[in-house]
Structure 1
Amino acid sequence: MAPVPVRPGIYKIHAHIIGPTSLLTATEYAVKHGAPVITDRLNPLPIEQDWLIEPTEHVPGAPYVVRLAHHDKAGLVIAEDKLWVNSVERTELAKFTFERVIGGLKILSENGLALRAGHRGAQITLVKPAPDFQETWTLEFVSPPNEEE
């Protein structure tokens, strides 16, 4: 499928797993490659659940990087087919595209692997895309990018 353009801005990223709303969440404690990224219930603090999605460059069809909206450098990185958040240079952030699927979007890495939310609290893994609701996500637009970003 063709990639779907996403308006640059701050989002909450909802996982499609059974139970109460689950959001893509940066955990507090770093291990190995950074802090593991999981799904968790809505946290009243946006520090760990608001994500800035922006294109890598300002040309149509460019992939996107995803970083914490309230942190200058911390963004999503991929290591060992798992998703982490770490403070790295922008060029080291993972690149993603979005594809429309029934019920939402599929988030794909630059290697064509899909983000998968196994269950609440599990680290997000990257897998070969399949028609699986655990690989379906919804982007909830919160606001445009902060002016100082």
Structure 2
Amino acid sequence: MAPIPIKPGIYKIHAHIIGPSAVVTATEYAVKHGAPVITDRLNPLPIEQDWIIEPVESVPGSPYLVRLAHHEAAGLVIAEDKLYVNSVPRGELAKFTFERVIGGVKIHSDKELALRSGHRGAQITLVPPKPEFQETWTLEYVGPLNEE
């Protein structure tokens, strides 16, 4: 299917996994490539669970960057087919497209791999896309970008 446009803004990204509601969360500790990104229960503090989704360029069809909403320079990076958050130059952030699927959206990297959440607490991996619910996500719009 063709990529769909996403309204730029602040989002919570919900995983479709069995068990309690889970959202994409930046962990508090860093390893070689940055802080692993996992799915975890919704926490009362949004610091590590609110994400900015914005187009790379302001042209139709442009892929998107995903950054932490409360940490200006921290965004999603991909290393060894796993998802991390790290403070890197904007040009080094991973680029994503979104595809509408039954029950939500599928998130694809620029290498056409899909984000997958195996279970709550597991690091998000990138895999060849399949019609599996662990690769389906819901984007909950929280609000607009606070551009000054």
After TM superposition, the score normalised by the length of structure 2 is 0.99
Q: What is the percentage of aligned positions where both structures have the same residue? A: 80
Structure 2 stretches of 5 or more lacking a match? none
Matched positions, count: 148
- 1:83 deviation in Å? 0.1
Considering only aligned residues, what root-mean-square deviation do their CA atoms show, in Å?
0.5
Matched, 1:79 2:90: no
Map Cα deviations across residues 42-72 of structure 1 (whole Å, 9 max, x no partner): 0111110000000000000000000000111
Q: Which amino acid aligns with 1:60?
A: P
Structure 1 stretches of 5 or more lacking a match? none
Q: Distance in 2 between matches of 1:31 and 1:128?
A: 25
For the residue of structure 2 that corresponds to 1:47, the secondary structure is helix
- 1:19 deviation in Å? 1.0
Q: Which amino acid aligns with 1:10?
A: I
Other-structure match for 1:102: 102
- 1:146 deviation in Å? 1.3
For the residue of structure 1 that corresponds to 2:106, the secondary structure is strand
Q: Distance in 2 between matches of 1:33 and 1:147?
A: 29
- 1:122 deviation in Å? 0.4
Q: Structure 2 matches for 1:11-90, cutoff 5 A?
A: 11-90=11-90
